[in-house]
Amino acid sequence: MKALCWTGINKLKIENVDEPTILDPGDAIVKVTLSASCGSDLHLLGGYVPGMRAGDILGHEFMGEIVATGSGVQHRRVGDRVVVCSFMSCGQCWYCRNELTSLCDNTNPHPGLGEGLFGASTGGCFGYSQITGGFAGSHATYVRVPHIDTGAFLIPDGVSDEQAVFASDAVPTGWMGADLGGVKPGDVVAVWGAGGVGQMAARAAMLLGAEKVIVIDRLPERLEQVRTVIGAETLDYSSTEVMAELRERTGGRGPDVAIEAVGMEAHSQRPDYLYDKVKTMLKLETDRPTAVREAIMAARKGGSVFVLGVFGGLVDKFPLGAVMNKGLTLRSGQQHGHRYIPMLLERIAAGEISTGHLATHVMPLEEAPRGYEMFKTKQDGCVRAVFRP
């Protein structure tokens, strides 16, 4: 079958690979209908996340049809049209039982890597480096899905493929940022980043009762989507001083909840950007945390900051003094999709969450290298390139 492989830093190639087989009793094979690019892939592509091996198959946000199941599968069957959570959950360990499924103890066959880097390992994820288990990703005709009973969700009739695919990753990630960030009715929420994740975080904040939601980015077509599809306010950081503008729009308080949905390759016009670029080039720092710093400085006293953007290592000039003195709550995490996806699919079906507009460029899998180039450079208004194997 065909699959999109990472072959080196900023190098992708469609290769002919073997088809996956059932390896464990809880497995299924899913024939992929749609598989999307995600901002997280850009960190892999650029070599910012360590532990990539040439030949790794990318892709973790996908939906499709179950075509084979292992002997232990109970709740899913051949023919089911499903969306699969990007992270894997065994359903049994303490983390899975406590709705912290991306921290699953039992789905990462390479635990020593995360333990060495982070002090503990995350659960497994599709197509997301050897650190999350080295599982083959979904940018392929077929993908093996371990723990299909916990990881795959039936797509309601009336929800299209293009709508459903984002329930795998972008929608639950955004929801988690607003939910675990503690958004409550009446809150003012600011979201850094108007990609798929930031847009979904903004929508979640609105549905959780926020009275004002402000999304910050510089790409006009994304900010336009935020205003017209999501229904939130926007702030263009390329033409406005973010801190001053946020203070003005939040009655001088700052946002109650600040959600960062940018990640370790943040861009900025502030002087610290150059500092971070040089330091990452010299390998004195691994990640560029511009938006995290800004979110921490902007958040109101006693407010909370949720870091949804992916970080892989060490950052500099982290404003710990602001966290401490302003009494902030700082949270983060890979998405715990299993707890949210069924509810989110219902909301998508009910028209409460729009997702289809994120699929700006749907193309055959063979064109995925071009799709990633567009997504990476944000050409032609690309928000997410989505591949059809």
Partner 1 sequence: MTKKMIVGIGVTGLAVAAGAAGLRRRRHSSDRDGEAATRWNVVTIQRPPADVVHDQHLPEPLAALNGLIDVRWSIAPGGRGTELRARPHTDGRDEDDDELRGAVRVALRESKQLLEVGHVLTNHPQPEGRRPHTPAGAIVDALVRRSPEEGVL
Ligand X SMILES: NC(=O)c1ccc[n+]([C@@H]2O[C@H](COP(=O)([O-])OP(=O)(O)OC[C@H]3O[C@@H](n4cnc5c(N)ncnc54)[C@H](O)[C@@H]3O)[C@@H](O)[C@H]2O)c1
In the complex, least distance from residue 67 CB atom to ligand X, rounded to whole angstroms: 27
Q: Whose Cβ is closer to partner 1: residue 52's or residue 200's?
A: 52
**Residue 385 interacts with, from ligand X, partner 1, Zn ion, none (CB under 5-8 Å by kind):** none
262 binds Zn ion (CB under 5 A): no
**Residue 134 interacts with, from partner 1, Zn ion, ligand X, none (CB under 5-8 Å by kind):** partner 1
In the complex, least distance from residue 44 CB atom to Zn ion, rounded to whole angstroms: 10
In the complex, least distance from residue 96 CB atom to partner 1, rounded to whole angstroms: 9
**Residue 72 interacts with, from Zn ion, ligand X, partner 1, none (CB under 5-8 Å by kind):** partner 1
Q: Which amino acid is at 298?
A: A
Alpha carbon of 246 to those of 220, 297, 332, 358: distances in Å? 19, 11, 22, 26
In the complex, least distance from residue 297 CB atom to ligand X, rounded to whole angstroms: 12
Q: Whose Cβ is closer to ligand X: residue 43's or residue 147's?
A: 43
In the complex, least distance from residue 140 CB atom to partner 1, rounded to whole angstroms: 7
In the complex, least distance from residue 261 CB atom to ligand X, rounded to whole angstroms: 5
**Binding test (CB under 5 A) with Zn ion, winner from 38, 155, 164, 266:** 38
Three-state SS sequence of 347-367: HHHCCCCCCHHHCCEEEEHHH
Q: Which distant-in-sequence residues (6+ apart) come within 8 Å of 19 by Cβ?
A: 1, 141, 142
Q: Which amino acid is at 196?
A: G
333 binds Zn ion (CB under 5 A): no
- CA 168 – CA 115 distance, rounded (Å): 26
Q: Which two tokens stand for residue 48?
A: 């910012």
User: How is 218-260 classified by DSSP, letter by letter?
Assistant: S-HHHHHHIIIII--EEEETTTS-HHHHHHHHTTTS--SEEEE
Q: Whose Cβ is closer to ligand X: residue 237's or residue 387's?
A: 237
CB 224 within 8 A of CB 198: no
**Residue 309 interacts with, from ligand X, Zn ion, partner 1, none (CB under 5-8 Å by kind):** ligand X
CB 367 within 8 A of CB 388: no
φ and ψ of 387, to 5 deg: -110, 140
Q: Whose Cβ is closer to partner 1: residue 135's or residue 166's?
A: 135
Q: Which amino acid is at 111?
A: P
Q: Whose Cβ is closer to partner 1: residue 23's or residue 343's?
A: 23
**Residue 124 interacts with, from Zn ion, ligand X, partner 1, none (CB under 5-8 Å by kind):** partner 1
- CA 30 – CA 152 distance, rounded (Å): 10
CB 194 within 8 A of CB 267: no
HSE-CB for 351 with a 13 A CA cutoff:
0
Q: Whose Cβ is closer to partner 1: residue 175's or residue 387's?
A: 387
CA 148 to chain centre: 20
In the complex, least distance from residue 111 CB atom to partner 1, rounded to whole angstroms: 6
Residue 17 pairs in a beta bridge with none
Q: Which residues in this chain contact partner 1 in the complex, by CB under 8 A?
A: 1, 3, 5-7, 13, 15, 17-21, 23-26, 47, 49-57, 72, 90, 92-94, 97, 105-107, 109-117, 119-121, 124, 130-131, 133-136, 140, 144, 146, 283-286, 312-314
Residue 228 pairs in a beta bridge with none
**Residue 51 interacts with, from Zn ion, ligand X, partner 1, none (CB under 5-8 Å by kind):** partner 1
SS3 215: strand
Q: Which residues in this chain contact ligand X in the complex, by CB under 6 A?
A: 38-40, 42-43, 169, 173, 192-198, 216-219, 222, 237, 261-263, 266-268, 290-291, 308-310, 334-335
- Pick out residues in 162-181 that bind Zn ion (CB under 5 A): 169
**Residue 266 interacts with, from ligand X, partner 1, Zn ion, none (CB under 5-8 Å by kind):** ligand X
Alpha carbon of 85 to those of 73, 149, 156, 206, 295: distances in Å? 17, 11, 16, 23, 28
In the complex, least distance from residue 108 CB atom to ligand X, rounded to whole angstroms: 15
Per CB under 5 A, residues contacting Zn ion are 38, 40, 90, 93, 96, 104, 106, 169
